[in-house]
């Protein structure tokens, strides 16, 4: 039997091999105290949510693979291999917050739990580990333990961890706000992170490629409608955009926007209206609202106060910042192919179907595939996203310039659509 490695030595081993980058966060603008931050690795499609005063610790994921392959004994696990349930035991050298992560054999984290423990012996049960080798990593600010577990479980339930028993143990569902911790996240140099920070009713998005320890300043900007929908915002160049689609059902003066129109009414109405996919209220929480152009330009105001519907020129300013050549800006159809302008706008790991060509979300715009409602009333919820501008086509006044992104192209397409069509809406700050 191999000799157990002491807690301190294990911790030093982990720290020395990880080559960490440490990120901290601070707020500015409408809010300075950050409640929480969700960080998504846009390459790995992995994410972690931390408290605003936590430190994010970016670590090379090859460390996790190497831990699976070695034979260090750092946690007592039984049974191992497991059919579906195992218990692991450890002696905590101190009281405080511990994190328990589960990684699969590829080094991808598939579960995280958090517990406040007191000094002493603690037991936890881990359930439903996916078939094959898995790694359980338990760590705090001052120590780290790990053990590989072979699983024969082939069911569909998600991995879970629950407290079993302990000599001096208290468990809490949520950490206290004042608790500070260093949160580990796998990271390879050059990968882009999407940072989504929350402060009360404010949400701000930005993307970065970290290269060194830093404190990131997150600008918070108010963007809320009358129904208390609070929208994430993102600064792209000199502009500030919504980082999600509009979902309001009332104009800014409080009047209700027409909806639930059948095909015949939708195809003939020149009043502002919106549609929910298939006119089914059950889709309201899962699909985007699709507005006709008359709602977009109604004098009662569709966008939140301080925001407006973007003009065609404002879309061009966005595209130009993302690399669109000046020679292509005024063209119709697909544009910005070689610069991957559309890919820089599309979200990753989300609603787009494979192959989601070019998608990088480098801008933080986080465009999703919302489909459209044609001027005939028919719905097309395919693998496309469509967004209005406020600008009519000067040659065809019943038509309006829009933007179109597709799952199979990295272009930003400039087309015009009839005003009775239902498209998604993104607002831009005044």
**Interval 269-292: pLDDT, tens:** 999 999 999 988 888 877 889 999
* Cβ(300)–Cβ(318) below 8 Å: no
Phi, psi angles (nearest 5°) of residue 343: -65, -35
What parts of the chain have a pLDDT lower than 50? 1-18, 67-68, 71-73, 167-179
Whole-number pLDDT of residue 74: 62
Of 67, 89, 27, the C-alpha closest to 184 is 67
* Cβ(288)–Cβ(369) below 8 Å: no
Tell me the pTM.
Answer: 0.75
Which region holds residue 220: left if phi is over 0, alpha if psi is between -120 and 50, else beta? Answer: beta
Phi, psi angles (nearest 5°) of residue 225: -105, 180
The sheet that has 396-406: what strands, in order across it? 333-335, 412-418, 396-406, 384-393
Whole-number pLDDT of residue 62: 62
Whole-number pLDDT of residue 20: 80
Residue 267 is encoded by which pair of tokens? 């195809």
CATH number attached to the domain at 7-15+44-184? 2.60.40.1930
Whole-number pLDDT of residue 33: 95
CA atoms of 180 and 97, how far apart (whole Å): 9
Phi, psi angles (nearest 5°) of residue 79: -75, 160
The domain segmentation of the chain, as residue ranges, is: 7-15+44-184, 227-429
Whole-number pLDDT of residue 349: 84
């Amino acid at each position: 039997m191999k000799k157990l490695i002491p807690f301190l030595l294990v911790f030093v081993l982990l720290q020395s091999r990880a080559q960490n980058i440490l990120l901290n966060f601070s707020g500015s603008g409408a809010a300075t105290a950050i409640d929480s931050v969700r960080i998504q690795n846009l390459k790995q499609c992995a994410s972690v949510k931390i408290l605003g005063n936590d430190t994010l610790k970016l670590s090379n994921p090859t460390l996790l693979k190497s831990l699976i392959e070695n034979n260090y004994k750092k946690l007592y696990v039984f049974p191992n291999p497991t059919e579906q349930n195992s218990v692991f035991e450890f002696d905590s050298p101190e009281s405080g917050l511990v994190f328990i992560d589960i990684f699969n054999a590829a080094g991808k984290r598939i579960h995280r739990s958090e517990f406040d423990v007191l000094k002493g012996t603690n037991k936890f049960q881990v359930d439903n580990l996916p078939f094959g080798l898995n790694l359980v990593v338990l760590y705090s600010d001052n120590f780290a333990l790990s053990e590989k577990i072979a699983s024969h479980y082939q069911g569909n339930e998600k991995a879970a961890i629950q407290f079993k028993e302990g000599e001096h143990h208290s468990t809490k569902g949520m950490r206290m706000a004042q608790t500070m911790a260093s949160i580990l996240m796998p990271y390879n140099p050059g990968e882009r992170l999407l940072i989504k920070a929350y402060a009360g009713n404010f949400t701000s998005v930005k993307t970065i490629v970290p290269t060194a320890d830093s404190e990131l300043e997150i600008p918070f900007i108010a963007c809320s409608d009358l129904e208390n929908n609070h929208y994430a915002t993102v600064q792209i160049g000199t502009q500030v955009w919504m980082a999600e689609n509009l979902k309001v059902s009332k104009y800014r003066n409080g009047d209700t926007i027409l909806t639930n129109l059948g095909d015949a009414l939708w195809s003939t109405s020149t009043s502002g209206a919106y549609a929910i996919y298939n006119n089914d209220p059950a889709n309201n929480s899962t699909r985007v609202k699709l507005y006709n152009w008359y709602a977009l330009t109604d004098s009662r105001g569709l966008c939140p106060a301080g925001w407006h519907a973007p003009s065609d020129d404002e879309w061009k300013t966005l595209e130009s910042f993302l690399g669109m050549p000046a020679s292509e800006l005024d063209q119709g159809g697909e544009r910005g192919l070689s610069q991957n302008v559309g890919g820089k706008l599309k979200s990753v790991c989300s609603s787009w179907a494979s192959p989601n060509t070019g998608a990088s979300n480098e801008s933080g715009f986080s465009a999703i595939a919302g489909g459209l409602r044609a001027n005939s009333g028919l719905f097309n919820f395919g693998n496309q996203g469509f967004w209005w501008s406020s600008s009519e086509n000067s040659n065809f006044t019943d038509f309006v310039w829009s933007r179109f992104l597709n799952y199979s192209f990295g272009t930003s397409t400039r087309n015009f659509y009839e005003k009775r069509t239902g498209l998604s809406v993104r607002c831009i700050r005044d």
